[in-house]
Structure 1
Amino acid sequence: MSDAPPRVVLRRDALDQGFSDDEIGRLTRRQDWVRLRRGAYLDGAPPDGAAARHRLLVRAALGGLRRPAVVSHQSAAVLFGLPLWGVRLDRVHVTRRPPSWNDASRALVVHVGSLGDDEVVEVGGVLVTSPARTAVDLARTLPFDRAVVVLDAALHTGLCTGPSLSEALGRCAGRPGVRSASRAVSFADGRSESVGESRSRVALHRLGLVPSDLQFRVRTLDGVLLGRTDFAWEDRRVVGEFDGRVKYGRLLRPGQLPGDAVFEEKRREDAIRDEGWGVVRWTWADLDSLTRLGARVRRALSRGG
């Protein structure tokens, strides 16, 4: 069985190859071809995952453009492999240099903005806004917490640096959303390792429960490392952990079962508590309720280690 990705077929190319509209209709009714958008089909089953499907939409959209454009915003983020939380991926986003005009349809959003040559890179044969420009464009257009998720990931993966984000921000001076982007860039921290940790950090700041450190290393009095925790309130001797299920998958060693990883994590937490540290954990559901998250963390801080 081939692992090759399904092929995107444009109607105009199919007609040039001798297909008729009737044949295309029969192929789609039999689901041999899947309609991606008007005039574009997928020769095979669509992949799982919104990001994988969006990559195919990008290919389909670019094939149907009459004027060249650079993939940008959330579409560029998908091509770079950056995580997106709460961001719609039903339309492809591109940017054109002026003179042009902003435009939007059910399948495509066209932004207009100046682009330096160094702000355009190639990803898999596709012209894309650079990582820093992509992150800043999203920070200008997304709500604060969603922008932070992208910015944290861009810094953590090394796609961007603090100076490169600052430079990209400076080039956007005078454009809509720059003040919001500046706030998000200032808040961004590459020590956040996941969407859940980035969302947690935003929530804790909104609650006035700002941790003193991230990725805090807990050691015994003899200096033996017991573990690294997501957050710490050192003056209260309390550490915090965002407890997303995927985390245990990241902890797995070759051949290790998920249950073994959970048991090992429990032993790690017990060792941390034995050193006089309190531990507070929260989940995705807690992030959807600031009241619940705030109450949980405040109880832990009031008890202390």
Structure 2
Amino acid sequence: MPPPRRPEQLRGRVFRKRDVLSRGLLTAGELRSSAWRRLFRGVYADAALPLTVGLRVTGAALLCPPGAVFSGRTAAHLLGATALADVGMPVEVTVDPAGRFGPVTGLRIRQAALAPGDVVRVGSRRCTSPVRTALDIARTEPLLDAVPALDVLLADGVVAHPELRQAAADLGGARGSRRAGRAVELADLRAESPPESRVRVLLALGGLAPVPQFVVRDAAGGFVARVDLAFPDARLAVEYDGAWHAEPGQFAKDRRRLDRLVAIGWTVLHVTAADLRDPVALVARIRAAYRRCTIGEGAR
């Protein structure tokens, strides 16, 4: 069987099916070969190109109507918070409500009238501004997803907390404003991972207020450890154990770190992905530990 035909004009390119067929560059049968990757309905790419969020954005731009703006997590990715989107997620786009567009498999399409200040240009792409992007995430996603995303936006410097708080307050009674306000209130740039953020949100919803990325020091002021979440008054630390804890040599480091914390009177609770599947039990376990440690601290 001969190799698939790959015209020079299409190598390294993203293109629309109707364009290459009308120009006679490929037939419909040739387009179905392994040389080409289907990104969306009627949009293809050279299969030699790596599949990335950027490639999918390029493909989506060929589909969207004039005036469409990338938004949500796709906008966050374009603005520099690349951890917030991956190739398995829909590309998010906001279009004028007066027009008709969609549905399109692989796109998440929102209809909204955007003010000029809500839109910025990143390279050749138009996307929602940092503040608008953060607010859209805050008012449309569940708290357990929105707050970790806001944490990343804050930590990456895409948006600042004061302007985000003001923007959330300015929403007034708009749809999703209460959810957005709560998400902004719970966001914290000190968080270092989405699972850590989720644990913090669960505890906050349960009436507990741990301090993220707390530095523990001994009586002489010497550094002991930095813990994911801490209740300093109870000398209680909550640590999320992700996959990286299984890396070679990490177990021994974790054990030495735990020993140092225990030696100065701290209690350490470990949380895993399995614990997040039963949030009620997780919060109850940490609340009970907090009470025990508080009583113990008061007796000292």
TM range (shorter): 0.7 to 0.9
SS at match of 1:111: strand
Change (3 A) 1:88 1:206: farther
1:197 is paired with a residue whose SS is: helix
Matches within 5 A, 1:66-105: 66-80=65-79, 81-84=81-84, 90-97=89-96, 99-100=98-99, 104-105=103-104
Distance in structure 2 (CA, Å) of the matches to 1:33 and 1:185: 43
1:269 aligns with 2:268: no
Please tell me the residue identity of whatever aligns with 2:283. G
Specify which of 281, 286, 289 is matched with residue 297 of structure 1.
286
Q: 1:157 to 1:39 in 2, by over 3 A?
A: same
Farther off after superposition, 162-171 or 126-135: 162-171
Residue of structure 2 equivalent to 1:20: 26
Gaps of 5+ in 1: 250-257
Describe the shift of the 1:167–1:118 C-alpha distance in structure 2 as closer, same or farther (beyond 3 A). Answer: farther
Amino acid at match of 2:44: Y
SS of aligned partner of 1:104: coil
| Structure-2 change in CA distance of 1:146 and 1:125 (3 Å) | same
User: Equivalent residue for 2:44?
Assistant: 41
Q: What CA distance in whole angstroms lies between the structure 2 residues aligned with 1:227 and 1:282?
A: 17
Confirm or deny: 8 A CA contact 1:84 1:146 kept in the other structure: no
1:42 maps to a residue whose letter is: A
Q: Return closer, same or farther for 1:60/1:263 CA change in 2, 3 Å cut-off.
A: same
Q: Is the alpha carbon distance of 1:26 and 1:96 closer, same or farther for their aligned partners in structure 2, counting shifts above 3 Å?
A: closer
What displacement does 1:173 show?
4.2
Task: State the secondary structure of the residue aligned to 1:190.
Answer: coil
* Mapping of residues 126-137 of structure 1, within 5 Å: 126-137=125-136
Structure 2 distance, partners of 1:111, 1:237, is: 46
CA distance in 2, matches of 1:11, 1:244: 43
Q: 1:295 to 1:176 in 2, by over 3 A?
A: closer
Matched residues, number = 283
Alpha-carbon distance change, 6 to 261 in structure 1, aligned in 2, over 3 angstroms? farther
Partner of 1:239: 237
Q: What are the equivalent positions in structure 2 for 1:144-223 lying under 5 Å apart?
A: 144-170=143-169, 172-211=171-210, 213-223=211-221
Q: CA deviation at 1:114?
A: 3.5
CA RMSD of aligned residues (A): 2.9
Q: Alpha-carbon deviation of 1:270? A: 0.7
The change in CA–CA distance for 1:207 and 1:179 in structure 2 (over 3 A counts) is closer
Cα distance per residue 1:9-55 (max 9 Å; x no partner)? 22234235531333xx23423x111211111112115746xxx3x43
For the structure 1 residues 32 and 283, does the alpha-carbon distance in structure 2 shift closer, same or farther, using more than 3 Å as the test?
A: same
Given the two structures, how large is their TM-score scaled by the length of structure 2? 0.82
Unaligned runs of 5+ in 2: 1-10
CA offset digits 1:269-290 (Å, max 9, x no partner): 1111101111111011111112
User: TM-score w.r.t. structure 1 length?
Assistant: 0.81
Question: CA 1:239–1:33 in 2, change beyond 3 Å: closer, same or farther?
Answer: same
Give the 3 Å change call, closer, same or farther, for CA 275–146 of structure 1 in structure 2.
same
Is the contact between residue 196 and residue 242 of structure 1 (CA under 8 Å) also seen in structure 2?
yes
Q: Given residue 55 of structure 2, which amino acid in structure 1 is its aligned partner?
A: L
Q: What is the CA–CA distance in structure 2 between the aligned matches of 1:291 and 1:181, rounded to whole Å?
A: 23
1:47-80 Cα shifts (integer Å, max 9, x gaps):
46xxx3x432221121123423111113212333
Distance 1:210 1:58 in 2: 39
8 Å CA contact 1:82, 1:154 repeated in 2: no
What residue is the counterpart of 2:5 in the other structure? none
Query: Deviation at 1:184?
Result: 1.1
Q: Does 1:111 align with 2:110?
A: yes
1:26 aligned partner, one-letter code:
E
C-alpha distance in structure 2 between counterparts of 1:124 and 1:265, whole Å: 43
Identity %: 38
**Residue 232 of structure 1 contacts residue 239 of structure 1 at CA under 8 Å; is this kept in 2?**
yes
Q: Deviations over 1:147-191 (max 9, x none)?
A: 111111111111111122134335544532122111111221111
Q: Which digits, 9 at most, give the CA deviation of each residue in 1:80-128, with x for residues without a partner?
A: 335449x995533222356446753334344333433332222242111
